[in-house]
Structure 1
Amino acid sequence: MMKNLFTPLPHPLTYAETLLGWFCRLGHENDETTLADLCVTGAAQLSQCELSQLYLFDEPAGRLELIAQHLHGALPPGDPASGPGSQHEPLLHYVLTQGQPLTLDDLSQCVHDTGFLPAVAQPWHCLSCIPLLGRSKTIMGVLLCASPRPAQLQGYVASLARLGGFALAQLSLLRRMQPAPEVTRLKSRAPATRVYGLIGNSVAMNETCRLIGKVLHTPYTVLLRGETGTGKEVVARAIHAAGPRSAKAFVVQNCAAFPEGLLESELFGYRKGAFTGAQRDHVGLFDAAHGGTLLLDEIGDMPLSLQAKLLRVLQEGEVRPLGANASHKVDVRIIAATHRDLLAMVAQGTFREDLYYRLAQFPIELPALRERDGDALQLARHFADEACMALGRPAVGWSSAALDQLTSHGFPGNVRELKCLVERAVLLCDDGVILPLHLALSPRTEAAVETTLRQRLERVERMVLIDCLQKNRGNRTRTARELGVARRTLLYRLARLNIPVGEAKGEC
């Protein structure tokens, strides 16, 4: 392998020694900017070219960013010159999409436009454009070398590809090793939309927030209904935190977690000697939540005998601990949550009808994630940022293919499934970009696929528009500019797809 790497070169041993020296310098460098500068300087020296440029591929944005440039006799290393927009050049785009190096020995006979190269006194004669691959064989960037003199650059391609790939791998490693406070600085996305601390601005989530606002400052009992994983406890905490009881305790009890006897003693408490083993008084959760909020999760699993005692608490505001001679008043807001159909349980005789109507004084139906158009992407980025902070790693990006998979997945486990999926993907992600292979989503079944092509295309378009609007904080002018369409066209598409924008900040 080493023989094939250096044989085409005029002085292979000298070249190999010089190349090894540059690898050592890159391996010992711990500053991002200096690392990129060393790479282009080394590439220019090894190839004997007057120009060397290093581009980093931003996969979520689908573009190349010029991060370092060496131009002999003009600009100092590290000044990328006037390179904005070079990511749109057909030559670079060709190498990026083909994944193969391109060497041109005579640019005067070349069909590719090289106008993006820095202007020099003598026209550029030859160049070599080399894709740089990461460990997962994905393209991390591009290294370009050019000279105004005739030169045979093909022989340098293999060694320069390894040098540039090593430099970008080191750059990725340095960014992952940055301390946790740097993560906040590296985030490029706008903060997720939050109302009452809840993430999402879909129509379904807006309706949930509207209902929360209605019941927030009332004494009504709230019944949260929804599929498993829709965030019922999160919503209950939001109601408590934004309401007048926020300074007091928020207590959670899962009614399915204890057998009947233990659940009763946990909720109501007991007095010393009430039963064998009761060696001291025990404060129940109703008393622990006095002045605050008590969430009774999985209320549908509460035994019938205990339902009667709960009804008395709701009606009279009194609790009687086990072994006590008298009841006493408590001031507690009750929020109940369940994924079961309580009305069906009432019909079957497994849930008290009077308790149901007392609990369902103000019901809130939480939407499944598949019903929250656009929220999955916001939640995914939020969970990824949280995971990165917890791991002390820089914020990760998302490939467009991974985002497409998220928008098309049904998420039967709802938000809980998405959170676990994203946390695993962040852990598997090595190059700073989450790819479809990190998500490991199973393909959708035929039953889950929309019935027509139009419906599928509209779903994808809706996701793209919502995502771009969120990134631009609702500004439709900037959104239209980023999407490359007229503002009038964007407004038409938003209206046709019934996408609410809300109050756009910085609207033009």
Structure 2
Amino acid sequence: MSENNLDQLPDPLAHASALIGCITRIGLDSDDASLPGACVAAAAHLSHCELCQLYRLDDATGRLDLIAQHPSATLPLADTPSGVDLRHVRLLRDTVDQRVAVSMDDVWNSTCDTAFLPALGSPWRALLSVPLFDRFNTVTGVLLCAAQRPAALQAYAFSLGQLGSFALHQLALLRSLRCMPVVVPQDRAVPLAGMYGLIGSSTAMAHTCQLISKVLHTPYTVLLRGETGTGKEVVARAIHQAGPRADKAFVVQNCAAFPEGLLESELFGYRKGAFTGAERNYAGLFDAAHGGTLLLDEIGDMPLPLQAKLLRVLQEGEVRPLGASAAHKVDVRIIAATHRDLAAMVAQGSFREDLYYRLAQFPIQLPALREREGDVLQLARHFADKACANLGRTPVQWSNIALDQLSSHPFPGNVRELKCLVERAVLLCDDNLILPAHLSLPLAPVATAVDDVTLRQRMERVERVFLLDCLQKNRGNRTRTARELGVARRTLLYRLARLNIPCGDASAER
């Protein structure tokens, strides 16, 4: 490990405090999908670098796999062809083999090859590659930071090594816990609310989680239906991660993203010489997902000829790559998702009837956000906390007026719209308090006297969402909720009954 060189930093105490905050946030993160991203975001924040990458070392193959990169929204992942061992990159290989941090204050005056890094308008000038260790002092990965200016990054090696090693340890721990076998009694469903990204305590969300838990440990094909932005990929990932295939691959393919010919070769693969340009054998996504799960998003956009081949996969469990003389078996759980009405498409002849009934073996209709009463504020806080962790900043608070605006907005784009709205608000918020100006939501039309009933219903709806949110924060404890609201407990119980909020079972509000 690198020696502790924090005293070489301009403000060691401030850096140490920020490091503790970053490690605390990573330690509290229970989502193994977002944890690597939170690590590289924190590393970029601590080192003041424009780029940070996290690599994990595969003990079995010796490969260094790039698992996270910051900033992910503006930079594509390094253009590394599948199958290339990143240990062939000298900088990374030296870091792993020598077990010490490699720092270059000015790349221009060195022979270091930076071709494996994503290209920006300005070249990379300074690099820091830090080995990461487990509790047995074995190298488990590499944390790499790059700056577009000459910089003395060696001083950050110790703190970034601690951060990255802790993140990889937490990631391994979360995945080992997730993969532990779960014995599910036949008469009980697995509780999923609040796990695997399934955030919300509304009746609609509880029903959705109950359906998901019923199908987890079955081989049934699942068809996820719902409006755009309702979280179909999140649900599909939850089915995979909470089920028996969690330790295998989860592969996603958008059927609307490729024309028919390319989609067929992407899904089924091809053999060398199958068509012009096929210079090697290529394993398709069904083979890539062998033993795991394949999500076919926007299944309604799949061309009819491909639908017939997909039906054969579902019925026979085998695929035939383009140019191959024989089919081979694959073990893949298929989850399909669509926002279109497949039954209507069957009637129009644009979707195969036999495939529709095979896909709809276990349909799940995901509720729109406007149908998930009380979930908007809970989701908003969740997305705000995630955005703050990714940006490496302290958590933000919400003004009551901003919460009122969120609860009144219809959200035609559903959860996706809410997520983007909250992330933008966090970015615009400078004083750790989100205000209506940060949300940029249109003002609700002012109701007239003629609309008295609508106004009353609207006010009751806002009050109901507000009370549900307070109960959620206090874990269903009505005494603490009444104390927070500054009202008598009897008054709170009256309002709960008046607004049809169950008060006999506090767990219903959790």
Q: Contact 2:493/2:503 (CA < 8 Å) preserved in 1?
A: no
Which SS does the other structure have where 1:300 is aligned? helix
Q: Contact 2:224/2:363 (CA < 8 Å) preserved in 1?
A: yes
Distance 1:485 1:451 in 2: 26
Q: 1:431 Cα shift? A: 1.4
1:234 corresponds to which residue? 234
Distance 1:317 1:502 in 2: 49
AA of the residue aligned to 1:295: L
Which SS does the other structure have where 2:310 is aligned? helix
AA of the residue aligned to 2:194: R
Identical-pair percentage? 82
Shift in alpha-carbon separation, 1:193–1:268, aligned structure 2, 3 A: closer
1:214 corresponds to which residue? 214
Distance 1:332 1:367 in 2: 27
Q: Counterparts of 1:385-396 in structure 2 under 5 Å?
A: 385-396=385-396
Which SS does the other structure have where 1:194 is aligned? coil
Q: 1:444 Cα shift? A: 3.9
Q: Contact 2:193/2:206 (CA < 8 Å) preserved in 1?
A: no
2:198 corresponds to which residue? 198
1:284 corresponds to which residue? 284
Q: Contact 1:271/1:323 (CA < 8 Å) preserved in 2?
A: yes
Q: How many residues align?
A: 319
Q: Counterparts of 1:132-147 in structure 2 under 5 Å?
A: none
Distance 2:337 2:446 in 1: 33
Distance 1:324 1:211 in 2: 39
Larger radius of gyration: 1
Deviates more, 1:385-394 or 1:277-286: 385-394
Distance 2:287 2:268 in 1: 8
Q: 1:195 Cα shift? A: 3.7
Distance 2:224 2:446 in 1: 32
Shift in alpha-carbon separation, 1:460–1:205, aligned structure 2, 3 A: same
2:465 corresponds to which residue? 463
1:370 corresponds to which residue? 370
1:131 corresponds to which residue? none
1:327 corresponds to which residue? 327
Shift in alpha-carbon separation, 1:503–1:249, aligned structure 2, 3 A: farther
Distance 1:327 1:308 in 2: 15
Q: Contact 1:198/1:235 (CA < 8 Å) preserved in 2?
A: yes
Q: 1:445 Cα shift? A: 5.9
Q: Contact 2:230/2:368 (CA < 8 Å) preserved in 1?
A: yes
2:245 corresponds to which residue? 245
- CA-to-aligned-CA distance 1:130-185 (integer Å, 9 cap, x gap): xxxxxxxxxxxxxxxxxxxxxxxxxxxxxxxxxxxxxxxxxxxxxxxxx9x9xxxx
Q: 1:370 Cα shift? A: 0.9
1:403 corresponds to which residue? 403
Distance 2:394 2:348 in 1: 53
Distance 2:355 2:442 in 1: 42
Q: Contact 1:271/1:322 (CA < 8 Å) preserved in 2?
A: yes
Which SS does the other structure have where 1:199 is aligned? coil
Q: Contact 2:383/2:423 (CA < 8 Å) preserved in 1?
A: yes
Which SS does the other structure have where 2:296 is aligned? strand
Distance 1:326 1:219 in 2: 25
RMSD: 2.5
- CA-to-aligned-CA distance 1:21-40 (integer Å, 9 cap, x gap): xxxxxxx9x99xxxxxxxxx
Q: Contact 1:450/1:456 (CA < 8 Å) preserved in 2?
A: no
Q: 1:450 Cα shift? A: 9.6
1:452 corresponds to which residue? 454
AA of the residue aligned to 1:293: T
Q: Counterparts of 1:96-495 in structure 2 under 5 Å?
A: 194-444=194-444, 452-495=454-497
AA of the residue aligned to 1:370: R
Distance 1:265 1:454 in 2: 57
Shift in alpha-carbon separation, 1:498–1:244, aligned structure 2, 3 A: farther
Distance 2:383 2:452 in 1: 28
Distance 1:437 1:288 in 2: 46
**What is the TM-score of this pair, normalised by structure 1?**
0.60
Q: 1:198 Cα shift? A: 0.9
Distance 1:501 1:230 in 2: 29
- CA-to-aligned-CA distance 1:408-443 (integer Å, 9 cap, x gap): 001111111111111111111111111101111123
1:90 corresponds to which residue? none
Q: Contact 2:272/2:279 (CA < 8 Å) preserved in 1?
A: yes
**What is the TM-score of this pair, normalised by structure 2?**
0.59
Distance 1:441 1:429 in 2: 15
Q: Contact 2:251/2:285 (CA < 8 Å) preserved in 1?
A: yes
AA of the residue aligned to 1:204: A
Q: Contact 1:421/1:439 (CA < 8 Å) preserved in 2?
A: yes
Distance 2:211 2:359 in 1: 16
Which SS does the other structure have where 2:357 is aligned? helix
Q: Contact 1:221/1:335 (CA < 8 Å) preserved in 2?
A: yes
Q: Contact 2:224/2:337 (CA < 8 Å) preserved in 1?
A: yes
Which SS does the other structure have where 2:291 is aligned? coil
Shift in alpha-carbon separation, 1:502–1:196, aligned structure 2, 3 A: farther
Shift in alpha-carbon separation, 1:268–1:493, aligned structure 2, 3 A: same
Shift in alpha-carbon separation, 1:481–1:260, aligned structure 2, 3 A: same
Q: Contact 2:225/2:339 (CA < 8 Å) preserved in 1?
A: yes
Which SS does the other structure have where 2:245 is aligned? coil
Distance 1:388 1:501 in 2: 34
- CA-to-aligned-CA distance 1:250-290 (integer Å, 9 cap, x gap): 00000000000000001101111111111111001111111
Q: What 5-or-longer segments of structure 2 have no aligned partner?
A: 1-10, 15-159, 164-191
Q: 1:196 Cα shift? A: 4.2
Q: What 5-or-longer segments of structure 1 have no aligned partner?
A: 1-27, 32-178, 182-191
Distance 1:464 1:228 in 2: 26
Q: Contact 1:474/1:502 (CA < 8 Å) preserved in 2?
A: no
Q: 1:451 Cα shift? A: 5.7
Shift in alpha-carbon separation, 1:500–1:311, aligned structure 2, 3 A: farther
- CA-to-aligned-CA distance 1:328-381 (integer Å, 9 cap, x gap): 111111100000111111111111111111101111111111111111111111
Q: Contact 1:196/1:209 (CA < 8 Å) preserved in 2?
A: no
Shift in alpha-carbon separation, 1:500–1:206, aligned structure 2, 3 A: farther
Which SS does the other structure have where 2:261 is aligned? helix
Q: Contact 1:255/1:301 (CA < 8 Å) preserved in 2?
A: yes
Which SS does the other structure have where 1:363 is aligned? strand
Q: Contact 2:228/2:414 (CA < 8 Å) preserved in 1?
A: yes
